[in-house]
Structure 1
Amino acid sequence: MTSTNGIARLQLVAFDCPDPRALADFYAAITGWELDEDAGDWVQLRSDAGATLAFQEAPDHQPPVWPSSDRSQQAHLDFEVRDLDAGEEQVLALGARKTEVQPGESFRVYLDPAGHPFCLVLHPDAVTT
């Protein structure tokens, strides 16, 4: 049974990382979102629609390993694009790394500069060649 009256509203998604500002800059370049708060050890990006990504300093951060059960990805972000090749070129130029394991054809898996996995997903209306 699902309820339309939840007990809470999602405020943000936060990522542990060694350099919050650098990781916020990386995701700002992908999303176009503006820097909302920079307290040094806590940095936030907010979209016009209210979605927020936060980055929290964790000096001993150990990035997840994908794919692995030792240090699983725990969470990841999907970004929709109309051209996977163009999107890939752009995120690699920002400092992302493409993973060796690519399990699908309609999406690609990358690691952000702090090692968190994220995907570029082909928009359902995009024409594939």
Structure 2
Amino acid sequence: MHVILSAILLALAILDLVLGTSFLVDPAGAAGDFGLAIASTHGESTLRGDMTAFFYVTAVSLAWGAWKRRPEALLPALGLFGIAFIGRFINVIAQGPYDGWMMPMAVEAFHCIVIIVAMRAWGVPKPDA
């Protein structure tokens, strides 16, 4: 079970690293895959910086947590993907569904579920007394 969880988390880390790199190298191309369009250099800079940071921080968190089997190392990834999922959920409720809305939410939910299962399986360390 521990090896399988580590392997899944590492696979997700690689996916997130690839996504982050795509925003770093080709923000316009990556933006299109996310339903975004770049309107200015400011927008390109924002996508290059913010989206790369989102996916790189997640990738490092997942890889470190999986490698060391440290549940607390997974908290940044859980926070980022959990907030992203909640934001998308609010949008679906407020604006209604759109073409392709389920796939990104499924990816975010899968990240969160795997992280929570790993954290429960590896146990949250107790604070030193």
Q: TM-score, normalised by structure 1?
A: 0.30
Larger relative contact order (CA 8 Å, sep ≥ 6): 2
Q: TM-score, normalised by structure 2?
A: 0.30
Structure with greater proportional helix content: 2
Structure with greater proportional strand content: 1
